[in-house]
Amino acid sequence: MPEEMVAARAPEMASRGAQQVDVAVVGAGFAGLYLLHRLRKAGFTAIALDSANDVGGTWYWNRYPGARCDIQTIDYSYTFDPELESAWTWSEKYATQPEILRYLGFVADRYDLRHDIRFGTKVTAATWDETADRWLLTTDNGAPVSCRHYIMATGCLSAPKAPEIDGVKDFKGEVYFTGRWPHEEVKLAGKRVAVIGTGSSGIQSIPLIAEQAAHLTVFQRTASFALPAHNGPSPADRVTLLEQDRAAYREQARWSLVGVPWPQQTDVSWQLSDAERRERFEKAWAAGDLAYILTQLWADQGVDIDGNALVAELVREKIRGIVKDPETAAALSPHDHPFGAKRPCLDTNYYATYNRPNVTLVNLRQEPIKAITASGIVTDKRSVDVDVIVFATGFDAMTGAIMAVHPITGRAGKSLSSAWAQGPQTYLGLTVAGFPNLFMITGPGSPSVLSNMAVSIEQHADWVVDRLAAMREAGFTTIDATETAQAAWAQHMADCSMMTLHRLANTWYTGANVPGKAQGVMPYTGGLGPYRSICNEVVSRGMLGFKLTGPNVPEQVNDGEVVRLQPDVRLVLGMLAEMNLPPIESLGAQGARDFVNEFNKGRPAGRPVGEVGAGMLQGADGPLPYRLYRPATPGPHPIVVYFHGGGWVLGDELSDDPFCRDMCRRTGMIFVSVGYRHAPEHRFPAAAEDGYAATRWIAEHAADLGGKPGPVLVAGWSAGANIATVTCQLARDRGGPQIAGQLLVCPVTDCRFDRQSYTDNAVGYFLTRALMFWFWDIYCSPADRTDPRASPLRGQLAGLPPAFVVTCEFDPLRDEGVAYAEALAAAGVPVRQLQAGGHFHSSFVMVDVVITGVSGRLQMAEALQRFAGLQVTPPHAIAAE
Ligand code: N01
């Protein structure tokens, strides 16, 4: 038989004698147990395999002193069975590892799961058999397993990472890894102990080790943020909340951002005084709850570097207050990552431990470890002899345990390690294209470690088992993600990672803790609730992004991208849809204005600038109000004349206040927002002529306004951008004023409605085609619409100031904006474009709501600075935001 045929038949031959099941689950921890239970209930034959000798997963292995959960136990529990919930009562707010292990054993017994678990059995390799449409798993103990579906429930933090320090093998004393702590008692009393690593494992174990050891030396490379757990009984208020309405509490957790039912915080840090912020922080410090302190201080703490720095400094202040030696306190104070970007730790007496006479901290940033020797640890500056070394050095997280089954061979002999050579690629964090019928529970690309794992695990297991049942019902035997869906998920992950600060820290979240590992934020940062809704959407849209096949049914390929919007735009549009608002055009002009005013009251307050002033200027036909935003830096500053959006009908000089403030801060320029006249009271060309007159007046009064005399700049959004560019045309034709540049954000440039974006984005993205019709009708009679003062695309474009034109993918105005930019370029005007993918018409003016709009505004600010001949703000601001 030719070699290829032998190879092709290898799985078939090996599967003879294999244990045959519908589904094989690798891992018997939180995820594996629940899967087994669900699979059985759904009528599948299933088996779980685990290299441990009992259930528990991560809680089986992590037995080091002080090991506890860091999500309150009332939340860190199964919720699928109310009877189970009432049958078990946790003894503490944060249960110890032995209690959690007992709980998992209790669950295994209650649902009689153990007899379907093969303990002490490591899966060594997995191969997809293309002919049989089955996986073959080989093991280090007993028969291989042939299964239709193969589910990795191996946990995110199960593969301890090697310590990467020379000489570990030379050490003659005892060596322990927190992630593989012995089952028998480890006696540390009277011994000289070293702990390497100050993540959660180190921080939990150090205080207890210090109590036993003769001397403890802690080797710290990166300081972590830690807060007191204040362990004890579960807090009465949380228990009451749960018991009042258990189902509602659990449901709220399922749809929350992190899997713990806290409300979404809406106050932003700059709205709160120092005293108010401190009060909130003290409350969070006293609460001893990670989910609380990460979500409940102020809305910008996790998404904005300035809002985050306020929390970080308050924690550092606490550290200084606890640790008596200032040098040690300084070393323990993290400065190299935002609070929460690396998982903060919950501790009991951690910082106070450094006040003990038998504890020494070695700051490896100042004296790196050179080697481990037979007798201890040698740094650049000292040699520390010890009897015991504890490695609390962490895990090859998220991917390590999956890749530990090696090789996992999918279609066409492709291995998972080659598919993931540049980092994990998944669809929904659940599946991998080319690896049919393989599922991962809390895999890379899912919320996993950024959420309450118990809630994430139930969501994943339910989703997978429900899909398997639905496939069986429909006669499908294979399911495989499409490449398109997977690539789009990678894009969505990248978009999401721009919303939070996780990308700014080198952590196990990003793979940075393992030398040579591909880097990138691995967990899904868009939040658990949004993730759940996406998974549901995949199903409701006919298994979007999956190919399904079966022997007796036609193949179903539903290729596509489940999320094309930016994650925060998706949330905003979802919220707007839920509000079930009447069409704005049905409200009449005054009704629509009232609506916009009301709507704007609910948005976050704009950020502080140096000074905000108000006054009157001369418009085309009388005085007009204006708002002036002055930067805090010394002037005089260049002036940007700004025109608000609102279809020539709505808004006023205040209505784009957060945008003007944000741009004023970013550019270091004065923004003057003009209250031009509106239709229907003042129809075309009132707004256009006011725009021109106001710009002239502002240019003439630049010095009085504290601005730099000389050319001004113009900017606007939507109809305001129409006025801005019309102003440029009029200024060129009427002999001034001089305009140095124009920023046009989603401009109206033409009265034609037949461009593709008017069809693609006619409804569903807030600014609708019908609303644009209405605006045009109110502003301008059909006969006037081709006038370049209404449709600047029809004007002469040569000789206009340089332009930066921003368009958004999901905006009816997209194509006329692009057309304008192209026409400007064709006319010889220097022009740059930002075509913002996944954004909608309002993305950039919804400051501090659409967080992913920040990078676009940075580019806008940079463009204005260049137009004005200013030094461009360095791009680090992008990372900082
Ligand atoms: O691991 P870590 P962990 N030389 O990666 C240091 C969960 N968990 O096991 O940051 C010197 O956080 C490393 O330094 P650096 C929780 O999600 C939960 O503590 O790479 N030092 C770091 O200080 C947690 O986040 C609980 O510079 C070296 C430490 O070792 C996750 O598990 C309890 C080094 C590793 O910290 C991981 O926590 C425990 C070297 N060669 C864990 N290599 C609960 O409370 C690494 N380090 C539920």
Q: Whose CA is nearest to atom 3 of ligand 1?
A: 394
Cα 430–557–149 angle (5° rounding)? Answer: 40
Instruction: Tell which atom from ligand 1 comes closest to the C-alpha of 343.
Output: 25
Kindly state the percentage of the chain with pLDDT values over 90.
Answer: 95
Instruction: Tell which atom from ligand 1 comes closest to the C-alpha of 221.
Output: 27
SS3 17: coil
At 397 the pLDDT is 97
Structure tokens at 104: 């998992």
At 11 the pLDDT is 53
Q: Whose CA is nearest to atom 13 of ligand 1?
A: 197
Cβ 206 vs Cβ 350: under 8 Å: yes
Cβ 216 vs Cβ 209: under 8 Å: yes
Cβ 145 vs Cβ 19: under 8 Å: yes
pLDDT classification of 3: cutoffs 50, 70, 90: very low
296-322 pLDDT per residue, tens: 999 999 999 999 999 999 999 999 999
Ligand 1 pocket test, pick from 94, 220, 221 with the greatest ligand atom count within 8 Å of Cβ, gives 221
| Ligand 1 midpoint to CA 339 (Å) | 16
pLDDT classification of 740: cutoffs 50, 70, 90: very high
Structure tokens at 180: 């593989």
Tally: H helices and E strands in the chain: 28, 29
Paired with 371 in beta bridges are: 378
| Ligand 1 midpoint to CA 379 (Å) | 20
Q: Among 358, 350, 349, 361, which residue's Cα sits nearest to residue 325?
A: 361
The DSSP secondary structure of 337-374, one letter per residue, reads: S-BTTB--EEESSHHHHTTSTTEEEEETTTS-EEEE-S
Number of neighbouring beta carbons within 10 Å of residue 683: 16
Cα 239–244–246 angle (5° rounding)? Answer: 80
Q: Whose CA is nearest to atom 15 of ligand 1?
A: 222
Average pLDDT over residues 668-693: 98
Cβ 427 vs Cβ 474: under 8 Å: no
Instruction: Tell which atom from ligand 1 comes closest to the C-alpha of 393.
Output: 30
Instruction: Tell which atom from ligand 1 comes closest to the C-alpha of 508.
Output: 5
| Ligand 1 midpoint to CA 727 (Å) | 58
Q: Whose CA is nearest to atom 43 of ligand 1?
A: 393
Residue identified by tokens 């957790």 is 253
pLDDT classification of 876: cutoffs 50, 70, 90: very low
pLDDT classification of 177: cutoffs 50, 70, 90: very high
Is the pLDDT at 880 greater than 50? The verdict is no
501-523 pLDDT per residue, tens: 999 999 999 999 999 999 999 99
Q: Whose CA is nearest to atom 24 of ligand 1?
A: 200
Q: Is 285 exposed, middle or buried (0-12, 13-18, 19+ CB in 10 A)?
A: middle
186-225 pLDDT per residue, tens: 999 999 999 999 999 999 999 999 999 999 999 999 999 9
Number of neighbouring beta carbons within 10 Å of residue 562: 17
Going from the C-alpha of 438 to that of each of 23, 151, 416, 464, 518, the distances in angstroms are: 10, 6, 11, 10, 22
Instruction: Tell which atom from ligand 1 comes closest to the C-alpha of 345.
Output: 45
Instruction: Tell which atom from ligand 1 comes closest to the C-alpha of 67.
Output: 33
Q: Among 644, 715, 705, 708, which residue's Cα sits nearest to residue 674?
A: 644
SS3 138: strand
pLDDT classification of 475: cutoffs 50, 70, 90: very high
Average pLDDT over residues 51-64: 97
Is the pLDDT at 45 greater than 50? The verdict is yes
Going from the C-alpha of 362 to that of each of 343, 502, 605, 791, 802, the distances in angstroms are: 22, 27, 45, 69, 57
Angle of helix 236-244 versus helix 246-255 axis, rounded to 10: 100
| Ligand 1 midpoint to CA 297 (Å) | 25
The alpha-carbon radius of gyration of the chain (Å, integer) is 31
Structure tokens at 294: 């990460």
| Ligand 1 midpoint to CA 160 (Å) | 10
At 871 the pLDDT is 82
Q: Whose CA is nearest to atom 37 of ligand 1?
A: 394
Q: How far apart are CA 210 and CA 274, in angstroms?
A: 37
Number of neighbouring beta carbons within 10 Å of residue 74: 19
Instruction: Tell which atom from ligand 1 comes closest to the C-alpha of 512.
Output: 20
Ligand 1 environment, Cβ below 6 A: 68-70, 157, 163-165, 178, 196-202, 204, 219, 221-222, 343, 346, 364, 369, 392-395, 449, 508, 513
Ligand 1 pocket test, pick from 201, 220, 452 with the greatest ligand atom count within 8 Å of Cβ, gives 201
pLDDT classification of 872: cutoffs 50, 70, 90: confident
Q: Whose CA is nearest to atom 16 of ligand 1?
A: 200
Q: Among 700, 703, 643, which residue's Cα sits nearest to residue 671?
A: 643
At 49 the pLDDT is 98
838-861 pLDDT per residue, tens: 999 999 999 999 999 999 999 999
Q: Whose CA is nearest to atom 36 of ligand 1?
A: 199
Q: What are phi and psi of 230, to 5 degrees?
A: 45, 55
Q: How far apart are CA 224 and CA 151, in angstroms?
A: 34
107-165 pLDDT per residue, tens: 999 999 999 999 999 999 999 999 999 999 999 999 999 999 999 999 999 999 988 89
| Ligand 1 midpoint to CA 377 (Å) | 19
370-403 pLDDT per residue, tens: 999 999 999 999 999 999 999 999 999 999 999 9
Average pLDDT over residues 325-350: 97
Instruction: Tell which atom from ligand 1 comes closest to the C-alpha of 202.
Output: 19
Through-space distance between the first and last CA atoms of the chain, rounded to whole angstroms: 62
Instruction: Tell which atom from ligand 1 comes closest to the C-alpha of 197.
Output: 30
Instruction: Tell which atom from ligand 1 comes closest to the C-alpha of 200.
Output: 19
Structure tokens at 748: 């109206």
Average pLDDT along the chain: 95
Average pLDDT over residues 450-469: 98
| Ligand 1 midpoint to CA 197 (Å) | 6
Q: Whose CA is nearest to atom 20 of ligand 1?
A: 513
| Ligand 1 midpoint to CA 479 (Å) | 36
Q: Whose CA is nearest to atom 31 of ligand 1?
A: 200
Distance of CA 849 to the CA centre of its chain: 14
At 14 the pLDDT is 62
At 230 the pLDDT is 97
At 162 the pLDDT is 86
Q: How far apart are CA 486 and CA 525, in angstroms?
A: 17
Q: Whose CA is nearest to atom 8 of ligand 1?
A: 200
Q: How far apart are CA 470 and CA 457, in angstroms?
A: 20
What is the reported pTM? Answer: 0.94
